[in-house]
Amino acid sequence: MLNEKHYKEIREELDNCKRPLFFFDDDPDGLCSFLLLYRYAKEGKGVVVKSSPELKPIFIKTVENYSPDKIFIVDKPMVSQEFIDAVKVPIIWIDHHNIIKNNGTKYFNSRKDGFGEPASCICYRVVKQDLWIAACGAVGDWHLPDFIKEFSKEYPDLLPTKITKPEKALYETKLGELVRILSFVLKGKTSDVLSCVKILTRIKTPYELLNNESPQANFIIKRFNQIKEEYETMLKKALKNIEDNKILLFTYSNRMSFTGDLSNELLYKFPKKLILVAREKDGEMKCSLRSSGSLSVSNILKKALVEIEGYGGGHEHACGACIKKEDFKRFVENIRKEL
């Protein structure tokens, strides 16, 4: 559990660097965590870490090329010890997934009693600015933080006070629309993603994006609409797949990863089902699993992975997994046995 002492310590780390390098996860919580820190520091470079829950040794080269004086890692559940050992600068790691024992980082994890508030909430408590970005990150991770009342007071048109559930905030409000914009512009080629991220570091208000008030916002919205079209096609296919049982399974092989977005929206539409969305890529099935209520998808996943070539984990109601294609059918059967 983190407190003001920890937030002050992170803030001092930010205040005392001139060339920080930020690694962040490719979802709204990760992106918003980066934006909060970067917009406060006004220095450094951001690197989005796609397709893996772990920050792998492949990123050592990125560090060598940039020569930072400090590294910040946000919203990544795992960091390779090889990476930690190889880089010769201080590492500040901010996360909310399962607590990991590691050597060589300053590690700040909000998790306690099975729950940790999203990384964007931690970063907001550190920088104390850009409330709208923090709200996007939290709601994108299905969480309504204690400062959400302050957000509703400042932006009642984006999040009415009557909204008390994160899924309703995500799919029934203007704030949710903002979250989807941030999520969708993280899809596709890394060069396109980084162009959008760079612009987002300069967007002044949520209305600039929502109302398309500047050339920069227009670039983001144009990109968002392109991705949204592909997403809507995938969602329609998934909705044709509904059967009267406890699991909603949808597999696809599109070039873009919509697994997290699809699984979230399908859970919102079918809260009593276990949702499994899997994307086939390079002989593997990249999965997003969701559940709600008393159904713990993390416990089910743990049992389903026994004698399966693959790995996975996450939160009680939201997990990711990567399964070898040839084992996927058996993996699904294992899940069905647990329901």
Of the two residues 257 and 201, the one the predictor is more confident about is 201
* Residue-wise pLDDT tens digits, 195-227: 999 999 999 999 999 999 999 999 999 999 999
Is 39 in contact with 129 (CB distance < 8 Å)?
A: yes
Q: Looking at the domain assignment, is residue 215 inside a domain?
A: yes
Q: Looking at the domain assignment, is residue 140 inside a domain?
A: yes
Which structural domain range is residue 333 located in? 241-338
Which of the four pLDDT bands, split at 50, 70 and 90, describes residue 245?
confident
Query: What's the whole-model pTM score?
Result: 0.94
CATH code assigned at 266: 3.10.310.40
Please indicate, yes or no, whether residues 97 and 157 belong to a single structural domain of this protein.
yes
Number of domains composing the chain: 2
Which of the four pLDDT bands, split at 50, 70 and 90, describes residue 235?
very high
Burial of residue 109 (CB within 10 Å: 0-12, 13-18, 19+) is buried
CA distance 260 to 207: 26
Contacts of 121-125 spanning 24+ positions with Cβ under 8 A: 121/145, 121/147, 122/2, 122/7, 122/10, 122/33, 122/94, 122/96, 123/32, 123/33, 123/36, 123/37, 123/74, 123/94, 124/36, 125/2, 125/4, 125/7
Q: Looking at the domain assignment, is residue 235 inside a domain?
A: no
Residue 205: the pLDDT is 98
